[in-house]
Every structure is written in C-alpha cells, then in structure tokens.
Structure 1
Amino acid sequence: MATISSTGPVTSTGLGSGINVEDIITKMKEVETARLKPLAADATLTKTKISTYGNLQSLLSTLQSAATKLADATSSGLWGGITATSGNTAAVTVASTGAAQAGSYDVSVSQLARAQTVASSAVAPGTALGAGTLTFTLGSWATDGSGKATGFTAGSAGAISVSFAEGEDSSLAAVARKINDAGTGVVASVVTDSSGQRLVFRSATTGQAAGFKIDASSGSSNGMKALAFDATTATGTFQLAQDSVATVNGISVSSASKTFEGVIPGVTFKVSQVTTSPVGVDVAADTAGMTKAVQDFVNAYNAVNSLLTTSTKYDAGSKTAGVLQADSTAVSLRSALRNMATSTTTGGALSGLSGIGIDTQKDGTLVIDAGKLASALATPANVKALFSASTGDSSNDGIALKFRTALRSMLAFDGTVATKSNSLQTALDSNAKDQDRVNDRWTATEARLRATYTALDAKMASLNALDKYVSQQVATWNKSTG
C-alpha cells in the first residue's frame, strides 16, 4: 500500500508563526510618518519667527517711547526743561519747577525766617497756676531800627481763649496740653532747667505774620497772669517772628518761610544762611536732559535696525539666511524706518537729523557727532522744531513726530506687527493640526495592521495544529500497514 507523505508545516509570521511583525510595522511607520520631519522643521522656524517678532515689538515700543518724548512740544515737556544752579549751595539752593526763562541772578540773604518764641518765668515743678484765662492773638509786631517792638497788629484770624476753672488741673503740663488742643496757632511745651520748669510758647509757623500776643486774666499776679506776653513791654526771654528777606538782582523780596516761590519764574530757591556777598544763580535750558533724550532715541533706533538687518540678511559666505530673510513685512518695516530717519521737515530752521550731527551709516545705523549736537542745542527751539514741528502735512512734520505716528500704527492692535505675529501663530496652529493628522492616521493604520496580523497568527496557529494532527495520523497509518 502506498505511503502517504506530509507536505511539512505551513509557516507564516507573528507571535505564533515566526514573522517579524514589529519590524514590518516599524518600517511602515517610517514611511507613513516621514512627512512629520518637514512639518517639525517648519514649526521650529515659525516659532523662531514669532519670537523674533516679539523682540521686535518690544524694541519698537522702546523706540516709540523715545520718539514720543522728543515729539512732545508742550512747555512742560522735554524742550521746556530748565536747570537752575547755585554758586553757594550752603546758603542758597535752587530747583526748577516749570517753564522758566534762561538768565543769571544775584541773590543776597539778609534775614532768615523764624517763628516767635517766648519763655515764661521758672516755677517749681508741679506748681498750679490756678483759675484764669489765656487769650492768644496772632499778628505782626512792628519794630524800630534796633529790633525793639513798637506795636502789634492783629491778623485776620480771631483771638482764641483757653480758660481754667477753680480746682481744675493748672500745672504747666496741663496748661500746655490745653493750649495745644485748642488750635491757637501757638505750640506750648514744658522745659525744665536748673531754675525749675518753664512754659515755652512757639508760633506754629514761621514768618512775621505768625507773631502772637498773650493776654491773661486771673486772681493772682503769680498765676495765669505770669504767662501774659506783650513784646513792647516784655523783659524776659523771647524772640520775635520774622520773614526771610533777600534781594534778587537788587530787588528786595521776602517770604514767611525759608523758601521763595514765584520770585524767579519757574524756579524755587531756599535760603539757609545770611550771606556776606551775592550768590550767583544760573537758569538755563536742560541741555543735558535733551542730549540724553536724543541719544536714547538713536540707541532705540539702532537696536531695531540691528535686529531687522540681522534677521533679514543672507550670508553668502556661510550660505545661511536670517530667520526673516525674504519676509516682506520685516523688509518693509526696515525700509520705512530708514526712510523716516533720512526724511526732512519744513517746520523750522533745521531740516534733517544731519543738521544736529546725526548721520546714517551704510548699515543703516545712526551715529551722533557730540560736538555738533551740543552746538545745535545752544538754540533748543530749533532742535525742538526739528523733532516736534506739526506742519499740517504729515510728510513735512518733525522727525520724531513722524516716528511716533508711524510706530503707533505699527504697534496698534491691528497694526503691522500684530497682524504678522497673528498670521505666524495661525500657521503654527495649522502646522500642529497637520502633525496631529499624520499621527492620527498612523495610529489608525497601526491598529489595523496589528488586527490583521493577529488574525493571521490565529489562523496560522490553527493550520499548524491541523498539520501536526494530519502528520501524526499519516505516521500511524504507515506504521499499521507496514
């Protein structure tokens, strides 16, 4: 009888059949996801562009601030800046407070403002002054040539009285406290020395009009009446109030305090010493502040120009392109800024930045000739007009005014920079979605492949089991018939 032969096991792949499914899936993944590489590269470049535009926006904002300061034509702005200096700061200090006219002044100080002070006679600590009334009247003491008081003129404020009833605490401390609480315009305090305690009165403010007179009534001349004060008859320890008195270019002026305001327009000066010779006060335009503002503008412009130049250039030697190379928005911004820097104005005697020593280099940067700028600032009005003149024709306005107007538009919510940044962000978002689609497509493909190979493995396992069974049966048959 013929012998039945087996054809051998059927082979396949997978976990149960020997095929390297993971290798197949890995290679298919490389093919399917190859598109992710250029997408990732585009995303990286777009992020760099967004970052660059963020830096550009910050630099343009700084330039806008610098231009706005130069474009301010108000009297309180940069161009109205004044510096005031004193030739003797120990005696006279000065400060600019607003619009002022340049000039030189000689200030002599003959008298310093002070408050009126009066000290009572000494009494033993704890002494009670008894019942009585003290009446305080503010006003001015008239004096003769020697400084002796000759009369008193009451001020507009009414007299204020402080009364003590019989049995009420009338110690010096209690009297001082009640006077201070009454708002008399006089400050009272208790001073203790080797002779005992004294009540010291001091006018609350300085100046001749802060003088005071004290009237007292009581049953005892040693009580409240001992605190009465009349400078025309007083013999105790006292000092009359007085104004500060000075001369400015020979004109006598006075102040109730040590500070003089409004004497020199736009300048306040404070006196600290009586002088033996005039103190020179010079008032001039703040050219140092103006110079700094111009330098800040140039620095801010150069920072923007440097970023735009670097990011848009192509280096032929290294064959590398800037991140914004061929970016029409960046190229247009650079061109617009350079055109404004080299533009002219019809608003004054100076027509362009070169007139004050600011020149444009080949790379677009601005440089300042310090000497020429200093000479131009000798006439601040001309430099002010160069930067801030409003002519009614924007093409002929001051240089800084042109920059301010243009930069406001560039940096607006819907301006050039924001629009470009938004479009780059939109492109980045779209790129992320494209990458997600590629990944999602491969995830679905991988799942389908694994399902197919799993089914194939199961089938192959079944066929292999059947093959083994058939082989066993053939072997048994051949043995039984052999």
Structure 2
Amino acid sequence: MSGISAGVGIFSGIDTRSLIDQLMAIEARPRMFAEQRIIAIQRQQAAYLDLNSALNALKTASGAFYTNKVFDSAKATSSNTAVLTGIAGTNATPGTYEFLVHRLVTTNQQLSRGFTDKDQSAVGATSFTFEIGGGALQTETRLSELNGGAGVTRGKIEITDNTGASAIIDLSTVITVDDVIEAINSSSAISVTASVEGDRLVVRNNSGSGTITIANSFGSDTASDLGIAGTSTGGTITGSRIRTISGTTALSSLNDGLGVNIRDGAADLSITNRAGLQIQVTLGEITETTGDPPVTTIVQRRATTLQDVVDMINAESQEHSAGITASIDTVNNRLVITDSSGGTGNLIIESGAQGRTTAEDLGIATGPAGVAASTVNGERLIAGINSTLVKNLFGGDGLSASGLTVTDRSGASATITISASALAGSIADLIDNINDQLAAANVDVSAELNAPGNGLALRDTSGASGNMIVSGTAATALGLATAGDSDGYIRGSNLQLQWQSRATLLSSLNAGQGVGTGTFRITDASGATATVDVTSSIRTLDDLIQLINSRPIDVEAAINDTGDGIVITDTSGSITGTLKIEDVTGTVARSLNIAGEDNEDGGVIKIDGSFERTVTFEETDTLEDVAEKINAAGVGATATIINDGNGSSPFRLSLTSKYSGAIGRMIIDTGALDLGLTAMNKGSDAVVFFGSGDPANAVALTSSTNTLDSVISGVTIDLNSTSDEPVELVVSRDNEKIEKAVDDFVKAYNKVLDTIDKYDSYDQETNTRGVLLGDTAANNVRRSLLLTAQSRPIGVTQDLDFLFEAGVRIGAGSRLEFDREKFRAAMETDAASVERLFAARSLEPNEPVEIFPGVFVEDTEDDYSELGVAEQIRVLTENLTNSVDGLLTERSRSLDSQIELQRDRIERINKTLENKRARLERQFLAMEQAIAQLQSQQTALGSIRPLG
C-alpha cells in the first residue's frame, strides 16, 4: 500500500480522508487569505481601469478646444436650402454672402443612331477611341480671357438692324463668347447674325446690307469691351481684336493652356547677344538662406504673367549690360526680343539645361545656331477665339506641309498653298485660309472640323455626282487625301492636338481629379528595379519626368509623341526583357495610364501613357457587346443601351462621361463606322454669380461639379437648384457647437469625480467599503483636478482669469457647473479671451541639453509659454494616464506586483500543504499497517490451544 486510496481505513475503520481534508483545511487558511487579497487587488485594478477610462475621456474633451479649434467653429445658414446649402469649417470667414445660382453642372452625353436590335446583328465596329480632358480643336473662349486678360464687363447691349428694329440683349449672365453669340442670334426681335472671325466678333444684318448699330445699354461697357460698339452702313460690324495678350496674361493660359515650363532655383533661359555675351535668366523662385539659425528668404518669386517674364529678362540684361530687351507685341500676340548690343554674331535664345522647354513655350527659341538678326519675333502665344494653335498639332510638331489640290464633284479643281500665317496661327485661320482660296477658285468644297472634333473634314457642296479628289502634302498630313470619294464628305484623321506639356499640373489630369500620391515600381528590360515616390511636392509633369529620370535604372521619361501623356522608354539595350510598371502604394501609375508592361516591338520597348484610350471590337460584336467592352475598358465613359420605342431601329447606344462639367467632355472617334453620334448634353460647368443679386455686378463663378469649395474660406457650398432670386448664406460662429464642447468638458470632468467617489466610499447602512476607500492615488487625482480647474491660464495676461468668470464654476461636491447664459455673455464681450482661457497653447522651443562638456542631447520635455485651463487639465490627465510613468500606470504596476507576491505566496503555501498532506497520508498509512500487524498477531495468539 503506497498511500491512502480509500476514505475509511480497512483495519482502523477511521475516515482518514475526511480527517486529513479537515486538517488540511485548517492549514490552508493562509492561502484563502491570499486569494481573497488577490480578489481585492483585482477589484482595485478594475476601479483604476474605470478611472483611467474617465480620465482619458476628460483628456479628449479638454484637448478638443485647441485640437479641434472649437472656438473657431462656424455654421453656414442658407436663406433658401432648396437652392444652396453650406457647411462651414473651423477656418470659415464669418459674413453674409449673396449667390445667384444660374446653372447647375451637366455631363456630356452622346447618343448614337438607331439599330434594329441590340444582341443579334453585328454593328460593324472595329475600334473606338475616347479622349477626355483635351484634344479638341475647338474650344470655348471665356470672356475673362479677352482683352489681354482684362475680360469683358457683363451687362446689356442694344442692337438695331437695317429695318430699324431694335432689341436689348441681356449679356449679364454670359460666361463664354459662345454665350454671347447665342444670346444675339436667338433674339427674335432683330434680324442679325453674330459670329467669330479670328480674334474678333462680327455681327451682320441677315439681309447682307443696310445700317446696323450696336451700343452699350443701361450704363454698361459691354458692347465696347466686346469690340462691337458702333454703326456700319455696309450691313456688317467687324469688331476690334479682343483676343489679345498683355502684361497681365497668365503664363498658364498660353499655348492652348499648356503654359510655360519653369523650374525654381536655376536658369530657365539662356540668351547670347550678337556680341557673344551670354546671360542666364531664372524665371522660377529664388531663395537665399542666411544667419544662424538659418533663415530662408524669397529673393524672387516665380513668374506667373508675361510681364514678369519681360521684367526678369530685362533686369538680367541690364545687370550685365547685354543690350537685350524683351517686349510684348499685342498686335500679333507674341513676345519680341531685341538685341542692341551692336555685335555681328548670331542672336541665340535657348531653354535652360536638363530638359527645359521654356524658350519653346514662350515662342522665342532660335535653336543652338541662333539667327543673324537683331530681332526675334516670337510665335503666336494664344489661339483665336474658340480655336487652338496649329503649332500644337501632331503632339506639338505643328503642320509644315502646305500643298493642297482639291477637285470637287463637278470637276472644278484648284491647287492652293496654305499661307505661312495660317500655319503659324489658329485652326480657325487654317480652315478660313483653305476656304477662302477654294472659293476664289470656284471650287465647291469647304473645310470644317470633323465630327469628333479632333481633325478636319472636306465637304462637297457642288451638288454634282462625280468624285471628290484631294491630294498634296497638306492633304496627306491632314488625313484628307483621296483618289476619289463619291460621298461628298471626307473625314480627316486625328491631328493629335497636344494638350499636355511639362508645365501641366498633375492635379489637372483625369478631368481635374489628378493622380494622387503614392509609389510605383519600374523594372527595366534588364531586370533592374527602382521605386518612384510621388509626393505632394511633385506638382507638374516636369517634376514627375525629372523624378523618374533620376532613378538608377535604364529608362527615360518624356512627353509622348501625341502630346497627351508621358511615355517611359527602356534604354537598357535589351531586346528580350520586359519593361514593367506597377503601383506599390496608391494608384499613381494607373492614373497616369502607365501601369503595365511592354516587350520589344520594332527595336523599341516603351509604355505610352496616352490619355487617348482605344477599345477594340470583333467583327461580330453586337450593340450589347460594344457597350460591355466599353464599360470594361475603363475609358472614362459609361455605355448603356436605350430603347426609344421608335420605328424599326429603336435601340441606341448612349455614351456618358464619368466626369461632369466642361472638363468631362468626350472626344469619341468611331473610325470608319458612322455611329451617328449626337450630343444630347455637351457637358457644361455650373455657373454661380457671387456678391450681388445683379449678375452684371457680381463675380462669375464656375465649377465642374455642383460644389464650390474655395469661394469662401473654410466653407463648402452645395448647389441644389437654379433660381432667379439671390440666396443669402450667413456664415457665423457656431455657438451651439462651442457650448456643446464646454458641456462635454464639464461632464467629462464630473465623470472623473463620480468615478472616484464610486470607489472611494463607505456605506454605513451595509458597512461596505469602496475598493479605493482612502486610496492616496485616487485622492491625489481628485485634489489635482480641483486645483487645476481653479487655476489661472499660464502665460496669458487678460481680464478673464478663471473659468467661473466664463460660466464654469465649482459647485456642490466639487463638481463643475456650466452657466450657459454667463458663458454667452463672456463670448459676446470678448470671445478671444474666452478662447485663450480654455485653449491657449504655445510651446517653448526645445534647446539641446548638455549632459557632458560638449555633449548635447535633445530635450524631449514640453515646456509651455502659454497654457489655458482646459489645456492644463489635458496635460494633467496625460501625466496621470501616461503609459510609461503616469500616476495610474505606476499604481497599476504596484498592484500587479502585489498580485504576483500573493500568487508566489499561494504557490509556496500549496507546496507546504502538499508536503503536509503527503506526511499525514504516510502517518495514517503507517497506523493502518501497525493495526493490521497487531490484528494479525492477535489472530495468531488466538489460534494457540492449551497443551493437554
């Protein structure tokens, strides 16, 4: 027998197990006390956890005044929420603002001709191209761009035609030149037609003769600003030039909005005069750092207007006595550089090094050889009204071919040469030049824009049945050449107007949604990889191109040949590898259309990020298939099929831009297939007039969405509907929000005290003690909070010194009480002082601490020169709850240590009890064994019989 296995001894009859258990229970009383002590400590821990939670809530509530700028809280109240509403942020500028919502934003939608079915017959499509954001040869010139950027005063004009009929034309709400033309031409009271010719407006009597008069009306200068005020007896008023440049013309508006490539801190232009003296002109920002500690000062701000460019060139020339003078030719819309140095060499104007295009963008580049002349007349910098520049065709290479031979369907033929001025001018000039020459030669063919708007077309108007024949270098370049066309209409090819340049802002891409920030990885064809980190400091395509080209791999980034994106070309020399670009974080590469891979093709490995997207179809694709493939391609358009219920061809393909406003307009080129697209909605910006109920006196605002974000600082305005009546938006201090923050602070403060009282208590009726009764740490928290709440703000000198003066006082039970009326009175009297009382916070600069002679370490302690009362409470709660050395943290650690001590004690007691139990079991076992032996002996003795 090795131990007690049964409850009752076999020989003794004693219940040894119960006896041992009773003896051990007596011995185990110290363990029970230790376990009870752990439970008590754990209750304390739970109490401290509850208190810590309350303190953290107070920390948030007290810190909110500064962190959330509560005292800057504002609200926007609309007089007509059905028209517009506003949301005010903490930096909103208070005031009363007046708006007139003239037009809500619309989205470009194009509808095809009808088809007999949607899922049975093949459409015959091969490929469609979609381009959003640029590429159109015709634009809408805003009135604000006219007269050298001075714009046009909106108002009313009076027109009298040759019959003596007159009409007042209200131009107080017009935004573009097209709006002006539409307003004039839609008047039924007069018989006139307005149109655009080059840089001017032309208004004609429909009769073609007689007197026509246009005058300013109701005190406005609108007719004068439009260049059409006056009287003509010949039936036509040809306006003065209003599409001009001036010193105030923004550089960003030049070259069809391509702008001018400028970099900070280095020369953008290099000009060598005819005497051989070279000057370097920096148009970007120049800074200078001086002093100790260093202070950076802006010496020169970046050029933003043409006058800035002229002044910077002339200042640099004057400083070096170079004899170079820059000026603005407003007649021909160009810059002029004049050399008066007296030298006989060539005048050389070039862009700065490292990929700059500044001289080219300003139209004054001469090339490395220069010109043997003392004057450089630059290229035209802006297109005519509603047009684009010919020099931007073919990705910026322009059109040089000029020969064109046209035979109309009647057999009349002419060979013309497009003029040099037309090739250097606008697309409208090019079309007019072709048409003028063909008309003079009695050829019944006219040039116009093609249906997609990305090229030209020729239309035969002879009425004959022969073939139209077009040839010549210009015809080939424009995609108009044909050996014989019997339809009387020739649609030219996509002329690839450049609309992206090195100066293009990344934020303007993707219809103004930008490309975001993030990183992407480039793997060149040799297998080398590099990561490109696009941060918010990368603002332009030039910045991005420089960044990519600085990576230690064999690739080169540039603007692509079509001028509608960037191209990444592999320069490793590999013909078997793969160039790969993939996003790592964010979607920058995808947004730039360069995410993907490419293998060698014709000796070149490249990824072209063109924003002209192509969708390819099968010959058997139905209308439904076409819609599905467009939607799957992610080209920025949504395709749907509608059934208009009309006739035998009720099914139409609807194509809608994913981007609203004018910037979301689509160029859809369906190739050889005539889809018969009609613009159901061209896509227009929202128009709002700000500052006056009279649009003529208001500021015109436009937006590509129905939201205005930057009109009033800190206020977002949502447009809900149009209205002929102005709407007031009142931006004021949001007292309700401020008072709620104070109330939250008071409640959070009192919650801490309630929590302490909950655990630091004694119930006489039940004789129950709170788990933190008499606890020093809890009492210290209570005392510290009470003292801080009654203190003055640190470093703040003002009449308002205590919280009670602003309506927050100590009440019964040391609880805070919030008197809203007194608080409101204080806010009305001196809101700034109330804010400082609560939320003042100013850090002293941290100076290095010398720990050994010559050895300094950074001082990580925060020292405040100013600290409001709520901020002091925040600092106090941070110190109390600090996870490293906070009071409650230290107390929690102390309790953890006590629990560990009790657990160690229990472990020791358990070992002692185990030993005692084992000893008792051995003793009882020995007793049983002894009894068994005695019984055996007794039995033996009882078996002895007497002798005899």
TM-score by length of 2: 0.41
C-alpha contact 1:118 1:239 (8 A) present in aligned 2 = yes
1:146 alignment counterpart: 184
Residues 303, 27 of structure 1: CA spacing in aligned structure 2 closer, same or farther, 3 A cutoff?
same
In 2 relative to 1, CA 35–353 (structure 1 residues): closer, same or farther, beyond 3 Å? Answer: same
Distance apart, 1:48 and its partner CA? 0.7
Cα distance change, pair 90–43 in 1 and its aligned pair in 2 (3 A) = same
Deviation digits for residues 393-431 of structure 1, max 9, x if unmatched? 859721121122122221122211111111112111211
What is the aligned counterpart of 2:717 among 231, 253, 269? 269
Correspondence 1:419 to 2:890? yes
Look at both structures and tell me which one has the larger radius of gyration over its CA atoms: 1
- Secondary structure of the 2:386 match is strand
Residue number in structure 1 paired with 2:33: 38
**89 and 466 in structure 1: CA distance in 2 versus 1, 3 angstrom threshold:** same
State yes or no: 1:248 paired with 2:248: no
Amino acid at match of 2:699: S
What is residue 408 of structure 1 aligned with on the other side? 878
Tell me which amino acid in the other structure corresponds to 1:387: F
Alignment of 1:471-482 (within 5 A): 471-473=942-944, 476-477=946-947, 480=948
Shift in CA distance, 362/208, structure 1 to aligned 2, threshold 3 Å: closer
**Alignment partner of 2:102 out of 91, 98, 110:** 110
1:45-70 per-position Cα deviation (integer Å, ceiling 9, x unaligned):
11111111111111111111112212
CA–CA separation in structure 2 for the residues paired with 1:357 and 1:316: 36
User: Are the structure 2 counterparts of residues 153 and 212 from structure 1 closer, same or farther at C-alpha, using a change threshold of 3 Å?
Assistant: farther
How has the CA–CA distance of structure 1 residues 389 and 243 changed in structure 2, closer, same or farther, with 3 Å as cutoff?
Answer: same
Distance 1:328 1:228, change over 3 A: closer
**Aligned positions of 1:354-393 closer than 5 A:** 354-378=804-828, 380-390=831-841
Deviation at 1:199, TM superposition (A): 8.4
Indicate the SS of the match to 1:160.
coil
Alignment correspondent of 2:771: 323
Q: Pick closer, same or farther for the CA change 1:407–1:153 going to 2, 3 Å.
A: same
The alpha-carbon deviation at position 22 of structure 1 amounts to 4.6
Q: Quick one: which amino acid aligns to residue 840 of structure 2?
A: A
- C-alpha distance 206-147 of structure 1, shift in aligned 2 (>3 A): farther
Contact between 2:87 and 2:715, CA under 8 Å: does it hold in 1? Answer: yes
8 Å Cα contact 2:688-2:701 kept in structure 1: yes
Distance in 1 separating the partners of 2:904 and 2:924: 30
What CA distance in whole angstroms lies between the structure 1 residues aligned with 2:57 and 2:630? 58
* Corresponding letter in the other structure for 2:387: A
Query: Does 18-27 or 92-101 show the bigger shift?
Result: 18-27
**1:54 alignment partner, one of 45, 49, 55:** 49
Shift of 1:86: 0.9
- Give the aligned partner of residue 66 of structure 1: 61
8 Å Cα contact 1:106-1:280 kept in structure 2: yes
Change (3 A) 1:343 1:395: farther
Contact preservation (8 Å) 1:206, 1:256: no
- Structure having greater relative contact order (Cα 8 Å, sep ≥ 6): 1
Contact persistence 1:351–1:386 (CA under 8 A): yes
Post-superposition offset of 1:316? 4.8
Q: Displacement of 1:291 after TM fit?
A: 1.9
Q: Equivalents in 1 of 2:707, 2:388: separation in Å?
A: 22
1:186-222 residue CA offsets vs partner (Å, 9 max, x unmatched) = 999887564767888888766568789999999xxxx
Give the Cα separation in 1 of the matches to 2:633 and 2:931.
Answer: 112
Distance 1:288 1:32, change over 3 A: same
Q: Is the 8 A contact 1:377 1:383 kept in 2?
A: yes
Residue pair 2:454, 2:667 contacting (<8 A) in 1 also: no
Asked if structure 2 preserves the Cα contact closer than 8 Å seen for 1:137 and 1:212, the reply is: no
Displacement after TM superposition at 1:238 (Å): 7.4
Distance 1:194 1:175 in 2: 21
* SS state at 2:184 partner: coil
Instruction: Specify the code of the residue in structure 1 equivalent to 2:55.
Output: L
Letter in structure 2 aligned against 1:70 = F
Q: By how many angstroms is 1:42 displaced?
A: 1.6
Q: What is the identity, as a one-letter code, of the residue corresponding to 2:63?
A: T
Which residue matches 2:137?
137
Contact 1:312 1:323 in 2 (8 A): yes
- Deviation of 1:79 (Å): 2.8
**What is the aligned counterpart of 2:926 among 447, 452, 455?**
455
CA distance in 2, matches of 1:21, 1:121: 105
User: Residue 433 of structure 1: CA displacement?
Assistant: 2.1
Q: Distance in 2 between matches of 1:93 and 1:279?
A: 10
Check whether the contact 1:120–1:199 (CA below 8 A) recurs between aligned residues.
yes
SS at the partner of 1:67? helix
Q: 79-88 or 348-357: which moved more?
A: 348-357
Question: Can you list the C-alpha shifts for 1:362-416, whole angstroms capped at 9, x where unaligned?
Answer: 3122121222233334454333211111366859721121122122221122211
Identity of aligned residues (%): 24
Matches within 5 A, 1:425-444: 425-444=896-915
Alpha carbons 1:389, 1:397 under 8 Å: kept: yes
The residue type equivalent to 2:728 in the other structure is G
Between the aligned partners of 1:32 and 1:123, the Cα distance in structure 2 is: 99
Check conservation: 1:83, 1:96, Cα contact below 8 A. Answer: yes
- Distance between the aligned counterparts of 1:154 and 1:92, measured in 2? 35
Secondary structure at 2:711's aligned position in 1?
strand
Answer whether contact 2:73 2:734 (CA < 8 A) is retained.
yes
CA contact under 8 A between 2:66 and 2:841: conserved in structure 1?
no
Question: Structure 1 residues 160 and 181, CA, compared in 2 at 3 Å: closer, same or farther?
Answer: farther
Aligned match of 1:160: 454
Q: 3-state SS of the aligned residue for 2:743?
A: helix
Matches within 5 A, 1:228-377: 243-250=685-692, 251-257=698-704, 258-316=706-764, 318-345=766-793, 347=796, 348-377=798-827
Offset, 1:281: 0.7
Answer whether contact 1:14 1:20 (CA < 8 A) is retained: yes
Task: Report Cα offsets for 1:264-300 as digits up to 9, x if no partner.
Answer: 2222323333323221211012222222222222221
8 Å contact from structure 1 (residues 394, 402) kept in 2: no
For the residue of structure 2 that corresponds to 1:264, the secondary structure is: coil
Q: Kindly indicate whether the alpha-carbon contact (under 8 Å) linking 2:92 and 2:715 is maintained by their aligned counterparts in 1.
A: yes
Unpaired runs of at least 5, structure 1: 1-12, 230-236
Q: Answer yes or no: is the 8 Å Cα contact 1:87–1:280 preserved in 2.
A: yes
198-207 or 343-352, larger mean C-alpha shift: 198-207
> Does the aligned pair in 1 maintain the 2:75–2:89 contact within 8 Å?
no
User: Match of 1:89?
Assistant: 81
Q: CA RMSD in A?
A: 4.5
> Relative to 1, partners in 2 of residues 1:456 and 1:383: Cα closer, same or farther, differing over 3 Å?
same
C-alpha contact (below 8 Å) 1:138/1:212 kept by paired residues: no
The DSSP-based 3-state class of the residue aligned with 1:269 is: strand
